[in-house]
Chain A
Amino acid sequence: AQKVTQAQTEISVVEKEDVTLDCVYETRDTTYYLFWYKQPPSGELVFLIRRNSFDEQNEISGRYSWNFQKSTSSFNFTITASQVVDSAVYFCALSEAGNAGNMLTFGGGTRLMVKP
């Protein structure tokens, strides 16, 4: 069965610090998809990125970057020069192609607090 682990339940940083959120996953499928979502206090999950299991290229989008390593089953998320607006709960999620549909397995989430 699939599983996603986010070992860091809470991280606190000061504005402008870099921060990395860890995500480790387990799956028996060879084709799968990994996602990161952000949940601000309003509660709505906001999609950040998707990565498929065949694409191990790292990705950078502004201050956000993602490091996908199949060898360690990890899909880590780094925020560079953090800002107060980055404060939220971040979820890593996995979707297996074998499910033939949209079923996300989420990690427990990491609450990021960025202090001014």
Chain B
Amino acid sequence: KAGVTQTPRYLIKTRGQQVTLSCSPISGHRSVSWYQQTPGQGLQFLFEYFSETQRNKGNFPGRFSGRQFSNSRSEMNVSTLELGDSALYLCASSFRRAGYDEQFFGPGTRLTVL
């Protein structure tokens, strides 16, 4: 079974631009969550999608948004990029929408904002 895939793996943008990251979950998984990892703030939850609906949202500004498609693939978008948005963005999928489900993580997209 293929794992979680994320594209692109690396991205360089400049301040003020916007960016879209993509995540394809494991086949059959319907829950997709996004996390931001930075040296200063560590791993922080961004949002979770299940059946195309956002179910949980972390404490991030409205510049961070996402969506999920009918095939469970998900995208996250960051508008008006700031230097502090430089981070590793990790996507995770799980079969159910339950807190006890282990989440399977993708390799991440490393975003650098110049």
- Flag whether A68 is at the interface (Cβ < 8 A): no
Which of A44, A101, A109 has the most chain B CB atoms closer than 10 A to its own CB? A101
Task: Select from chain A the residue with minimum beta-carbon distance to B102.
Answer: A47
> Which secondary structure dominates chain B's binding surface?
strand
B45 at the A interface (CB under 8 A): yes
Question: B9-43 toward A: CB 8 Å interface, digit per residue (1/0)?
Answer: 00000000000000000000001010100000011
Q: A91 an interface residue at 8 Å Cβ cutoff?
A: yes
Cα–Cα, bound, A43→B90 (Å)? 9
Interface centre among A35, A44, A46, A50 (most CB of B within 10 A): A44
Q: Which residue of B lies closest to A6 (CB)?
A: B42
Interface 0/1 of A8-51, CB less than 8 Å to B: 00000000000000000000000011010100001111110010
Chain B residues at the A interface, C-beta cutoff of 8 Å:
31, 33, 35, 42-45, 48, 50, 55-56, 58, 88, 90, 92, 94, 97-108, 110
User: Which A residues are closer than 8 A to B by beta carbons?
Assistant: 32-33, 35, 37, 42-47, 50, 52, 91, 93, 95-97, 99-109
